[in-house]
Amino acid sequence: MPVTLGYLLAQRSLGLRLVCGPESGMDHPILWAHGSDLADPTPFLSPGDALLTTGIQYEANDTTAWTAYVDRLVAAGVPALGFGTEVVREGTPTALVDACASAGIALFEVPYKTPFIAVARAVATFTADERFARSAWALQAQGSIARAALHPDGLGATLAELSHQLGATVGLFNPAGEVSRVAPGTEAGALAALGEDANKLLGAGRRASIRARTPAGAFELQTLGRHGSLRGVLAVGEPTVSDSASAQVIGSVVARVELSLEQNHTTSAVRNQVRSAILEALLAGHLELTQSLSRQLWGPLPATPIHVVLFDAPTDKRPALADNLEMLADKHAGAIFHALRDDQLVVIVESSTAPLVDSLCASFCVRAGVSPGAGYTELATLIAKAQRALDAPSATAGRVRHFTPEPSDQLRGLLQGDDARRIAVSALAPLTEHDRERGAELTRSAMVWLEHNGQFESAATQLGIHRHTLRARISAVEAILQVDLSGFAARATLWNLLAAAPDIAPSTN
């Protein structure tokens, strides 16, 4: 930080004395100190320079001249004027004191024993010492950040250390323009106002940086990644000391974060593939194998009873949501497992960690459906029930809906009467006759498919067939019964007919 008038006045060896000036003038930075007795020295001054003069250029009582002189100094950005006493005249001219007081510029006396060069040398020495100190700080800060990068969560630790070193708010936006990481002590809401600016930078698709102002203060936004393949935006608030040293530290972190994001992108792709394979193995009933693999890779699977959570998250929100689930999985080891299946994020949680879903939904403003608790042998059914909860009309953005039996489930007993059964048997006769003559399982396949809410992948897994085979079976059911099962009404009708004659295709629930 630059030297201030307050610092110079505090140096007893200089013997300076403040004559007049605003209180804020004590903290005003002084970039240099010049001595000049010119009537108009402003062509040779820069904003922030303090001026030293003996006052030989004007008569002591020339109020007009001194007023014009001080006005020129103020216009040039001079924060303080030093008057050398006992050189030309004793004391400081009253006209000069009045002019400085009126203009709001600090005026101080330089005693005869203190040469002007001593004041200039004090400014130069302080500036040099400060630059050295800031350079040393930058090296130390970069060393601390480098060590933080070795933490298991290197990215999070790096951002936290940068925030600590700068004394500033630090956050990271993902490629979707959403806040994905914040340093400890940073409120995500403080960064929310930068979302539009972050999206503009990401939308341009090239390396860039801008300065943005929010109610929480000024921020520097810097894109991360290569041209055409941006990985996010780093947001850094106003540092405690804003200079070239802090800019150097921020620049070093940008490079580290970019490298970390590139590595994470590659690693995440592989981890996601492994997670998806483990989920498929679980659905196929290979529980012992999947438990062994999971324990070796990232810890045990969640303990039973488990709940399945399905998020209705847009494609652009899934990476950030998956990142948060990864962090939660690290924090709650063995209590959360997630994988991508048919472009849908499937999460398995223990009962104790299920409430975490509420905060995730609120943070990302997405819907979620949660199944009841059960064992891994019922995983396919749990996924289907979570899907039913997610598809319920009452499941709104930012909210979680837990599975509850639908009225059709509760009233299914009403469909078990003889009349209802006769109607169902008659309506389903073409289908059951087809199965009997050809040894097919169209009726059962339709029932399982409906129980899985029309999801081919999970229903096919339970049936032990390929999803394309199941698609062909459902098409055959449509042709035989002459119905279009793409709509809700037709599916509901078929469901009730099958429910009214359970001996035709027993429920799998």
CA dist., res. 325 & res. 322, Å (int):
5
Indicate whether this model's pTM tops 0.85.
no
- Per-residue confidence in pLDDT tens, the chain, 509 aa: 678 889 999 999 999 999 998 877 688 889 999 999 999 999 999 999 999 999 999 998 899 999 999 999 999 999 999 999 988 888 899 999 999 999 999 999 999 999 999 999 999 999 888 888 888 988 888 888 888 888 877 788 888 888 888 888 888 888 777 787 788 776 667 787 888 888 888 777 788 888 888 877 889 898 888 776 677 888 888 888 877 888 888 888 888 887 777 666 566 667 778 888 888 888 888 888 888 888 888 788 998 899 999 988 777 677 667 767 777 777 777 888 888 887 788 999 988 887 787 877 877 778 888 999 889 988 988 998 888 888 876 555 557 888 876 555 544 545 555 677 788 888 889 999 898 888 888 999 999 999 898 899 989 999 899 999 999 999 999 999 988 998 888 888 888 888 887 777 544 44
Q: Confirm if 237 and 214 have CB atoms less than 8 A apart.
A: no
CA dist., res. 191 & res. 216, Å (int):
8
SS in 3 state form for 146-169? HHHCCCCCHHHHHHHHHHHHHCCC
Nearest-5° Cα angle at 320, 315 to 325: 115
Give the per-residue pLDDT at 465: 92
Kindly list the structural domains of the chain, giving each domain's residue range(s) and its CATH number in brackets, ordered by start: 3-124 (3.40.1390.20), 150-265 (3.30.450.30), 285-404 (3.30.70.270), 409-500 (no CATH)
CA dist., res. 208 & res. 456, Å (int):
45
Residue 448 CA to its chain's centroid (Å): 41
Write the single-letter amino acid at 261. L
Q: Confirm if 376 and 340 have CB atoms less than 8 A apart.
A: no
Residue 330 CA to its chain's centroid (Å): 18
User: 329 CB contacts (<8 Å, ≥6 apart)?
Assistant: 298, 299, 335, 336, 337, 338
Phi, psi of 345 (to 5 degrees): -80, 115
CA dist., res. 252 & res. 339, Å (int):
34
Cis peptide before 93 (omega within 30 of 0): no
Which CA distances in Å does 425 have to 297, 408, 411, 414? 52, 19, 19, 16
CA dist., res. 381 & res. 283, Å (int):
10
Closest by CA position to 21, among listed 30, 31, 32, 13: 30
- DSSP-derived letter for residue 340 is E
CA dist., res. 495 & res. 475, Å (int):
16
- DSSP-derived letter for residue 179 is E
N residues, the chain = 509
Tokens of 37: 């007795």
Give the per-residue pLDDT at 179: 82
Closest by CA position to 480, among listed 494, 461, 460: 494
Give the sheet arrangement for strand 49-53, strand by strand.
17-20, 106-110, 80-84, 49-53, 32-35
CA dist., res. 278 & res. 294, Å (int):
8
CA dist., res. 69 & res. 66, Å (int):
5
User: 251 CB contacts (<8 Å, ≥6 apart)?
Assistant: none
Which CA distances in Å does 264 have to 20, 226, 268, 466? 60, 15, 6, 33
DSSP strand pairing (80-84 vs 209-214)? unpaired
Spell out where 14-149 has E strands.
17-20, 29-30, 32-35, 49-53, 80-84, 106-110
Q: Confirm if 19 and 108 have CB atoms less than 8 A apart.
A: yes
User: 109 CB contacts (<8 Å, ≥6 apart)?
Assistant: 16, 17, 19, 82, 83, 84, 85, 92
Cα dihedral 279, 284, 289, 291 sign: positive
